[in-house]
Amino acid sequence: MYIFATEVDIHSQSLKDWVLVYILTGSVVLLNLFPIILPPKANSFSMDSAVYLATLFLYGLNFALQVLFIFSVIELYRNQRMSAWRHLFNFSMYCLMISGAYYSFLFFNGDIGKINVHHLFPYLISLLVYFSINVLLIFLFFYFIGQVFKGALELGVLKEACVGYSVTLLLSMVLAILLSEEKYFGLSLFIILVTILSIVFRKFLELYQLVSNRANKDHLTGLYNHGFFKETLKEQFSDCKMLKQPLTLAFLDLDDFKKYNDRNGHLQGDRLLAFFGKLLQKAVEGTSFTVARYGGEEFAILMPNTTKEDAYAFLNRLRKEVNDTYFEGVEHIPYRCLSFSCGIAEMEKDMHESDELIHRADQALYYAKAQGKNNVQLYDKHNMSLDEIRFKQDLEALEQQVKFFLSKDVYTYRHSKRVFKYALEFGSRLDELTDHERQTLVLGALIHDIGKIEVPRDILNKRGKLEKHEWEIIKKHVTWGREIVAAEKRFDDLLPLVELHHERYDGKGYPYGLKGEEIPKLARILCIIDSFDAMTTERPYQPTKTFEEALEEIERCAGTQFDPVYAAKFIAFVRKHYLPLAEMEQLN
């Protein structure tokens, strides 16, 4: 406002000057009615800067600011939906940009009033200043309203902006030449050409949007697809982490969809998915939420600037609305209504990757289904522990797998059962473990050697020392075991125990040579238990240690092979609960 008040002089202007000012203002209004629309949604590019710069080069700062002022007044009345302070911000920003371009033009010996094509340097500098002030002010604007202006952060977007401003410079010079040669006809010609250009760009954008939608949308539900959702999640995770704003993710799974499909057929099942997709789309209308079909009957809602408590209220309300919404055939599934289970997780300070948020939301969803479906669960690491029923189901499933050893390698079967027993008893005495960690340790102990199923029988049962190549095959059992366990997603928590229980604390283990606390805590504990049982179990042609000798060996290797803290605790556990029994057996 200060610049405008000090630079504009309307008293010395002739009627002819006023006519020119109004015509130039009308041109700016017209160009703003036909902006060039750019992706993503709500972005556009107006050529009005070309008019301001051309006016600046030919008639000076006074004229350019007058055109800007009259246009801003018209825009204030035309676009009343935009708040007054935003109008004022735009006006102030353009004042600074035009003034900066003007003074830099003069500083580098630019000549106001005619276009000197043999001395383009001042034009380039003035445009550079115009562009830099624009980017800086927009960046500050987004920063203060708590958003990210990616144009100033992403090289690709910045390059596109540079190209756009280069076009603006060229057009401003074209307009200036037209104005200096054929004032009103030149201006009319310019406006017609730019308007046609805007219409052509709009058509191209519509085609682009059509192709983009086909690539990013799920054809059945019309929601965003898995790939688009993952990319959006990464971007918003990064933005919210930078701005320290909440970001919440919800996974929704249609309850008993398989049963619905089996009874009503796949075509009707597809109709149900499309119907549910529309319900979700309608529910997020008017919000900044992104809803996508994550896969199968699973959906995801990404909620920026939303806490998990607000997300819970929103999704629980939606769940009740869905329960009350009838769809043909739902009366034959267990809940006799349309329902979904939902898991919610909020981004936390210790998260570094968006995949961690996905994992927690997925765990919360699994927990919601385990609680009987048709409910919404917030992620809470203490609540995510396996309940007794699920633990027993998992235990039975893993025992069935371990029983395969009975026919192939009875030693591994018995070893697995003993390690399981030690883990159960030792884990229950480790106060620092959560219930979930104790159960994970127990299940992992039972299944930790499952990869040996892939080892040839003659190597497994060989009596005598293994050859080097045979030993290399044995070492692969941890990788094979991981592949076997990974086949069922619900056992994902057991993967580190199966794969890493032969890593050593000093980094000399396998398969990766992890060191110290790089090795997951439960894998370090399992390594001690596994080694203790291997040392104390009788096998033909292999030396067997007594409990006392094995404990001395663990004590000797604490800090090299074993985690010293858990080695000491395990030694104390065995001394207290097993050595007295062993001594009694010896006496008998």
**Catalytic residue selected from 7, 181, 297, 472:** 297
Stretch (H or E) spanning 253: strand 247-254
Active site residue 388: no
What distance lies between CA 295 and its chain's CA centroid?
Answer: 16
* Contact in structure between 408 and 453 (CB atoms under 8 Å): yes
Nearest residue to 442 via CA among 454, 427, 452: 427
Token reading at 545: 């240690």
Residue-level length of the chain: 588
Strand pairing partners for 291? Answer: 301
Nearest residue to 201 via CA among 84, 346, 35, 21: 35
Q: How far apart are CA 448 and CA 446, in angstroms?
A: 6
* CA-derived radius of gyration, the chain: 35
Instruction: Express the helix, strand and coil content of the chain in percent, nearest 5 each.
Output: 65, 5, 25
- Straight-line distance from the first to the last Cα atom of the chain, in angstroms, rounded to the nearest whole number: 102
Q: How far apart are CA 334 and CA 212, in angstroms?
A: 40
Residue-wise burial string across 37-47, b where 16 or more C-beta atoms lie within 10 A, e elsewhere:
beeeeeeebbb
Tell me whether the omega of the peptide bond preceding residue 122 falls within 30 degrees of 0, making it cis.
no
Strand pairing partners for 542? Answer: 539
- Measured in degrees and rounded to the nearest 5, phi and psi for residue 322 equal -65, -40
Nearest residue to 214 via CA among 227, 196, 200: 227
Q: How far apart are CA 261 and CA 518, in angstroms?
A: 45
Q: How far apart are CA 557 and CA 536, in angstroms?
A: 16
Angle between helices 84-107 and 121-144 (to 10 degrees): 150
Torsion sign over Cα 78, 82, 86, 88 = positive
Contacts with 356 (C-beta within 8 Å, 6 or more apart), sequence order: none
Q: Is 9 exposed, middle or buried (0-12, 13-18, 19+ CB in 10 A)?
A: exposed
Residue with tokens 């949604």: 41
Q: Which amino acid is at 71?
A: F
Q: How far apart are CA 68 and CA 74, in angstroms?
A: 10
Q: Is 497 helix (H, G, I), strand (E, B) or coil?
A: helix
In eight-state DSSP terms, residue 464 is S
Torsion sign over Cα 529, 436, 449, 583 = positive
Active site residues: 297
